[in-house]
A and B are shown apart, each in its own frame.
Chain A
Amino acid sequence: MRPLTEEETRVMFEKIAKYIGENLQLLVDRPDGTYCFRLHNDRVYYVSEKIMKLAANISGDKLVSLGTCFGKFTKTHKFRLHVTALDYLAPYAKVCEVVSSATGDEVKDE
């Protein structure tokens, strides 16, 4: 588990900014607590500082996940956003489009 480097943060922010734009700074700077992005096994987790301090006590090979997984960095260092990030991105999404299909309702943000 480690914090992201400058390069990695930039790549990740560029991707997320495509969905939520300037509201990204509300994710970074939250009024109800310090949340941070941490990298573990190429996956980026958005986790509150309290939980991160607890997770630091678990050895790296035994730690499966912490907080919410926003996405992962591929082998060529591109950032792929996961659906688990939806809960945090939905409130700040700029455009919301509801697409209902046979399998169920999907909400698409832009």
Chain B
Amino acid sequence: MEGQSVEELLAKAEQDEEEKLQRITVLKELELEFDLGNLLASDRNPPTGLRCAGPTPEAELRALARDNTQLLINQLWQLPTERVEEAIVARLPEPTTRLPREKPLPRPRPLTRWQQFARLKGIRPKKKTNLVWDEVSGQWRRRWGYQRARDDTKEWLIEVPGNADPLEDQFAKRIQAKKERVAKNELNRLRNLARAHKMQLPSAAGLHPTGHQSKEELGRAMQVAKVSTASVGRFQERLPKEKAPRGSGKKRKFQPLFGDFAAEKKNQLELLRVMNSKKPQLDVTKATNKQMREEDQEEAAKKRKMSQKGKRKGGRQGLGGKRKGGPPSQGGKRKRGLGGKMNSGPPGFGGKRKGGQRPGGKRRK
């Protein structure tokens, strides 16, 4: 029994080995093209197996993928290997397939001010020699840079020119002049750069006042100016006959094209149900807002009545009416109104105060 099982095991092992060999070796009509630098294998064999596979070629596709991957791995195993930190690594050759550009070609930059000028005048760049003969040191020196031929900064004697102030520091003046030149150069460089980058955002087309702008550009510039305040144009007044700008509201957002179909269906069925129910649906928020507004209006009306009554009787009754303050106040508004009237003073001056009070009262309303 054990003998049999051992034989069986051996036979099985042999079979497995054969199968493995079979699996590793793949037969193809045309050899695949390998670009191991990109880990790429191109199979040029005609896909006859796939075509006669039927509606679900998944099994055939999977087999094809396995075969091709096996061939690629076989190729990889043939590469020279090296050891990198306890791992055996195959060294890939240079990639042969040329991959297309990832990003689009860069836009041609606009010419700098100097380039425009040179183009106008027809100035070509003169070829200059790298080294210049320096008399002072008696050797060939660079034209500019470290240890240059005619270095201004190394001069130990500067003659004061005839028209200059004798107490002026000529060395400091020279240094100052150099700093100014450097700063000016830097400014121009940055301006050229800014011009180059601005050209890539052509949205500011009409916003620079040129005097030759079209009506639409001017309108757009005006809109932009209006919105460029701290409160994004909310409190900017319009001219008396100016019309509101078109299309400056929020952009509408729509549902995505392939949104959840089930949700869409549910919403539509709900809408249908509501439509078919033939009952006016109660919009809770609208109802509560309406109720609140009505209450506020009632209060305001009552307050107005009270203030009118108080004024009419104020002259005759004197403090009485004012002191009592009318019916109990319902809110802060009422109290405030009373407080104002209390400050009006003793009734003796009621006549004068009436005149003064009424416009004040009206203003308070």
Contacts and interface: CB of A to CB of B under 8 A. Distances in A.
B268 A3 contact: no
B6 interface: no
Contacts of A1: 257
A3 B272 contact: no
Contacts of B271: 6, 9-10, 13
A13 B254 contact: no
A36 B254 contact: no
Contacts, number: 49
A25 B272 contact: yes
B43 interface: no
B269 A29 contact: yes
B258 interface: yes
| Size range of the chain A interface in the assembly | 20 to 34
A25 B269 contact: yes
Interface residues of B: mostly helix, strand, loop or mixed?
Answer: helix
A62 interface: no
Contact of A2 (B255, B268, B272): B255
Given A10-B271, A10-B275, A13-B272, A28 B265 contact: yes
Nearest to B274: A10
Interface in B250-279: 254-259, 261, 264-265, 267-269, 271-272, 275-276
B354 to A, nearest CB: 57
A10 B272 CA distance: 8
Contacts of B267: 6, 9
Interface of A: 1-3, 5-6, 9-10, 13-14, 17, 22, 24-25, 28-29, 34, 36, 38, 49, 52-53, 56
